[in-house]
Structure 1
Amino acid sequence: MSLPTALSWVLILAGLWSLIVWPPFLRRVLKDPRARDESGKPTKFLTVHIMLVSISMILGIATLVIGIRSLFG
């Protein structure tokens, strides 16, 4: 894959950003009182946020890999 070096770095930084930002967000969501109901079962709030974080991190990994491959290969 051939991209200009500057664009490769943008992809790498975007991928790293996703991998750095989303885990702390998920930790805050897990501690949120809306994450579980009175019996301790996960709520839709928790389910939606877990899906959001999972998809965002998968896309972040893909973006990072594409950036690295375009920079070095």
Structure 2
Amino acid sequence: MTVHLPTPLALILILAGVWTLIVWPPFLRRILKDPRARDEKGAATRFLTVHIMLISTSMILGAATAVIGVRALLA
């Protein structure tokens, strides 16, 4: 079953996906430099673990959103 998505909606999906992929990496760099990211022994803290999970999940969803938008645009 093929569903046609209007071009403006496909472009919004692409834009949202690209935005996500642009915004999160600089945030990750800031988190990695944050003193709360590592304990005194250099081990990752929950602060770092939670943020890495948040960022990776958001980037996966952003990439999927962009791919869906591109596929809808090309369909």
Range of TM-score over shorter length:
over 0.9
Aligned length: 73
Q: CA deviation at 1:27?
A: 0.3
Regions of 4+ moved over 4 Å: none
The correspondence of residues 1-73 of structure 1 with structure 2, limited to 5 A, is 1-73=3-75
Question: Which structure 1 residue ranges, 5 or more long, are not aligned?
Answer: none
1:2: how far off? 1.1
TM-score, normalising length: structure 1: 0.98
Q: TM-score under structure 2 normalisation?
A: 0.95
Structure 2, unaligned stretches of length 5 or more? none
Q: Percent identity?
A: 71
- Distance in 2 of aligned mates of 1:26 and 1:2: 36
**What is the aligned-residue RMSD (CA, Å)?**
0.6
